[in-house]
Amino acid sequence: MPVACWKTDVCASVRFLFYFSDESGAVQPSETSFTYLLNSEGWIPVPTRHSWAPNTWDPIGSPATSSYSGYYAIEGSGVSEYDSDPAPGHPAIMCSGRHAPDVAEIWLVQGTTTQRSPADGHFGVWTACTEKFEPFRIEAHDSGGALIGFIDEPLDRFFPDPPPLEVITQIDAEHLHHYGGRVEIQEIERHESKTVVNWLITLEPNPEAQLAEDLEAHGFDSTDPWSLERIEDHVKLIDVLKLTVFRSQISLTDDIGIEYRWEGGGGSTGQGEARWHHTFEPAIPTGATVLTVHWEDVEFQVPLH
């Protein structure tokens, strides 16, 4: 049963409600979408894969479940379809979801282009599609035209970060940390709008030696057999050590007083070492000559010119 549709000059999507029997024989409601393109013969279906999943609302068998209970004016279904290189006339993006009763129009915004459609789907269901593979925003507007909810999709996962403008590698920045290993800045990346610090962090080859007091506090002796309880506590202590080393307080300053904001970090660990990165905003300005990286109580001064 079709419950919502969206049409552009070249493509369209239709959201369907259907029922199926699960493994136990119980009938369950679900949703799926089909897409279409317009050619000289009219609207024809596009052969694509279809994503679907059982739904918790049953507007036919249990009308009360169709009442909108979301926290926002518009919500996505979590199932969207993307094609970064669609054939002519084929949709590049198809998405859907449900909206609140006071939503009168759905807008799909891409850059300076806006497509609009009445929110006239059944049971508060909406769907949208576009032939342009670009970041987009789904907006919900009330009958007076006011924006009352939106969904942003930047598509970052499909667009890799551009390469850095410069990579500073000649860095004499290595120091022992108080858990017996070393922390070293391997390189600093200068991007157009951010700064990335890449680290190599090593642990003491025998971390247990650094945790002797903690082990003793748990009632263990170095000669004790490795019981399951001791192994579990040992693993927990090692994890605490890693978190302490890898997630220490990191900050940046420079010689012209720019305020840098930490935006995130991550990396991988294994074989007693970790390769970690921390990202800051903004970019290092051209007027700065020295960048100081603060790792706990240790400072690394990195010349920029």
Residue 302 pLDDT > 70: yes
Mean pLDDT in residue range 128-148: 94
User: What DSSP designation does 285 have?
Assistant: P
Of 158, 190, 222, which closes a domain? 158
Out of 132, 158, 184, a domain closes at 158
Mean pLDDT of 47-72: 77
Q: Are residues 153 and 7 in the same domain?
A: yes
Compute the average pLDDT of residues 2-22: 92
Residue scoring higher pLDDT (144 or 154)? 144
Based on the fold, state whether residues 85 and 214 are members of the same structural domain.
no
- Residue 245: is its pLDDT beyond 60? no
Note whether 151 and 204 are same-domain residues. no
pLDDT at 219 (0 to 100): 65
Give me the pLDDT at residue 6, please.
97
Q: Which domain holds residue 278?
A: 166-303
* Whole-number pLDDT of residue 204: 62
Question: β-strand 174-176 against 136-141: which pairing, if any?
Answer: unpaired
pLDDT > 90? residue 145:
yes
Domain count, the chain: 2
Highest-confidence segment of 3-7, 71-75, 185-189 = 3-7
Residues 83 and 184 in one domain: no
d(CA 292, CA 294) in angstroms, rounded, equals 6
User: Quick one: pLDDT band at residue 201, thresholds 50, 70, 90?
Assistant: confident
Q: What integer is the mean pLDDT of 223-235?
A: 62
Please tell me whether residues 10 and 149 are part of one structural domain.
yes
**Are residues 177 and 284 located together in one domain of the fold?**
yes
Average pLDDT over residues 156-169: 86
Pairing of strands 81-82, 261-270: unpaired
Mean pLDDT of the region 78-99: 88
Domain match, 47 and 66 both? yes
∠ CA 243-245-249 to the nearest 5 degrees?
95
- Asked whether the predicted pLDDT for residue 51 surpasses 80, the reply is no
Which pLDDT belongs to residue 159?
80
pLDDT computed for residue 253 by the predictor: 95
Cα–Cα–Cα angle for 48, 41, 127, nearest 5°?
45
Choice among 36-40, 164-168, 222-226, 250-254 with the minimum mean pLDDT: 222-226
* Strand partners of residue 168: 188
What is the separation, in whole angstroms, between the first and last Cα of the chain?
A: 66
CATH of the domain at 252: 2.60.40
Please indicate, yes or no, whether residues 140 and 178 belong to a single structural domain of this protein: no
**Mind giving me the DSSP string for 170-239?**
----EEE-TTSSEEEEEEEEE-SS-EEEEEEEE--SSHHHHTHHHHHHTT--TTS---HHHHHHHHHHHH
3-state DSSP assignment of residue 66: helix
Query: What is the average per-residue pLDDT within 92-97?
Result: 93
Residues 194 and 274 in one domain: yes
Which class for 293: exposed (0-12), middle (13-18), buried (19 or more C-beta within 10 A)? buried
> Of 59-73, 103-117, 133-147, 215-229, where does mean pLDDT reach its minimum?
215-229
**% pLDDT > 70, the chain:** 80
Mean pLDDT of 193-215: 71
User: pLDDT > 90: what percent of the chain?
Assistant: 43
CA angle 152, 165, 83 (to 5 degrees): 35
pLDDT of amino acid 230: 61
The last residue of a domain, from among 158, 187, 212: 158
Domain at 92, CATH number: 2.60.40.10
Band (287; pLDDT cuts 50, 70, 90): very high
State how beta strands 27-39 and 42-45 pair.
antiparallel
Q: Are residues 184 and 243 in the same domain?
A: yes
The answer to whether residue 15 scores a pLDDT higher than 90 is yes
For residue 10, the model assigns a pLDDT of 92
Contact 180, 210 (CB under 8 A): yes
Indicate if 67 and 199 belong to the same structural domain.
Answer: no
For residues 131 and 236, membership in a common domain is answered with no
